């Protein structure tokens, strides 16, 4: 029964099934996949799962350890692919254009789906909206994709906050020496206003010009990510504040403390 519950939860997350009045009902997309997936060689289910974001972590890790050849195809050693993205590798094998021998070879046409912004957004856990978390995920995703598109080698851009939230930044870009660390802030408002935690403040001071903040303004959780990414980058986002500690020292940016530690003078 536990396995069934997990399967139902996944089907709901990817939009193939919906719960209506305590009953499960196949969605329009679910009917299409159920009736046409066999004729498409399993491609429809594979594309649905990739686009849903449910494999976002595995997609990210696979992109970061693979090579992109001259044709735009992704190449990864078999053992490495299975190590970082076991379930995703199984899904990719449903595509007739994917080769899986001693290496995993994914053609450029499918790579474009893997590294599209929609497939890298972490799937929401549960039906409830977590505004702060969802807004943060969007901002980090947009900066991750922005940096990968700008980089000489997109595989050297790492979304490190997905694995460790204590670093004081969200993204590393190894295309630079020293490597660039990027903290991402996203807001529904366009006015530049964001908070730095004490850890982020300390890391920014320590790293100097190697630390930058990306600010995405006017973000909406109701717009499809692929559409919004294009819209926001077209408007000049992200706003990039490089060497934020020197910007604060020069007065180009200002900061005020928002938290205070309160104790008794006698220490009791």
- CA of 93: how far to CAs of 35, 76, 82, 163, in Å? 20, 14, 12, 26
Pairing of strands 180-186, 74-77: unpaired
Give the model's pLDDT for residue 212.
95
List pLDDT tens digits, range 117-153: 777 887 665 555 678 888 999 999 999 999 999 998 8
Number of C-beta neighbours around residue 96 at 10 A = 10
Give the model's pLDDT for residue 187.
94
Give the model's pLDDT for residue 125.
56
Give the model's pLDDT for residue 166.
93
- Rounded to 5 degrees, φ, ψ at 221 are -80, -5
List pLDDT tens digits, range 75-110: 999 999 999 999 999 999 988 899 999 999 999 989
Ranges of the chain with pLDDT below 70: 1-14, 37, 123-129, 267-268
Give the model's pLDDT for residue 55.
86
Residues 6+ apart with CB under 8 A from 122: 53, 56, 57, 137, 162
Give the model's pLDDT for residue 48.
81
Give the model's pLDDT for residue 132.
85
């Amino acid at each position: 029964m536990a396995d069934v519950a997990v399967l139902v939860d996944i089907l709901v997350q990817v939009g193939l099934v919906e719960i209506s009045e305590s009953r499960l009902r196949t969605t329009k997309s679910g009917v299409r996949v159920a009736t046409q997936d066999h004729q498409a060689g399993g491609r429809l289910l594979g594309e649905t799962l990739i686009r849903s974001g449910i494999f976002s972590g595995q997609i990210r890790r696979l992109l970061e350890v693979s090579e992109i050849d001259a044709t735009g195809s992704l190449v990864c050693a078999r053992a490495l692919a299975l190590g970082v993205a076991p379930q995703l590798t199984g899904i990719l094998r449903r595509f007739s254009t994917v080769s899986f021998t001693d290496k995993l070879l994914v053609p450029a046409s499918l790579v474009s789906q893997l590294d599209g912004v929609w497939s890298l957004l972490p799937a929401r856990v549960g039906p409830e909206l977590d505004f702060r978390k969802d807004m943060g995920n969007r901002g980090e995703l947009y900066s991750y994709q922005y940096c990968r598109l700008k980089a000489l080698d997109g595989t050297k851009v790492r979304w490190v906050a997905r694995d460790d939230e204590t670093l004081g930044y969200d993204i590393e870009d190894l295309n630079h020496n020293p490597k660039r660390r990027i903290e991402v802030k996203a807001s529904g408002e366009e006015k530049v206003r964001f908070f730095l935690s004490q850890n982020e403040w300390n890391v920014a001071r320590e790293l100097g010009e190697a630390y930058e903040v990306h600010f995405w303004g006017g973000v909406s959780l109701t717009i499809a990510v692929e559409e919004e990414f294009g819209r926001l980058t077209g408007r000049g986002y992200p706003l990039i504040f490089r060497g934020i500690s020197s910007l604060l020292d020069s007065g180009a940016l200002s900061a005020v403390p928002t938290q205070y530690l309160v104790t008794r003078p006698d220490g009791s």
